[in-house]
Amino acid sequence: MPLVEEYNFVSFNSRQHALYFSQLLKNAGCDSQIISTPKGVALGCGLSVKFSPHLTPKVYKIYKQYRIPIVGFYSMKRVGNHTELVRIPLV
């Protein structure tokens, strides 16, 4: 059975914004990780904050509260050698 990995992430224009947002999530009790932005997103500073898809509503709420400049919210799913990257529309 192929390996399946699924996560969401927020990409940023500034490394400082990525670090600050990661700290905000940590303070709110959201498990997250700073990662290199996947190559499918060719914009931004090269850092993103990764989190579990089930945390998306909470992460989005924190984003709306602080309005840190971002490139966008994305969903990443890898099944074996196939990768699917989808931008999550901001409402």
46: CATH: 3.30.70.1530
Spatial CB neighbours of 62, under 8 Å, sequence gap ≥ 6:
21, 24, 25, 28, 30
pLDDT in tens, 46-71: 999 999 999 999 999 999 999 999 99
pTM over 0.85, yes/no: yes
Contact 31, 71 (CB under 8 A): no
Average pLDDT, integer, range 4-19: 96
CA distance 66 to 69: 9
10: left (phi over 0), alpha (psi -120 to 50) or beta: beta
Contact 85, 40 (CB under 8 A): yes
Task: State which residues form the domain around 68.
Answer: 4-88
Looking at the structure of the chain, the number of domains it has is 1
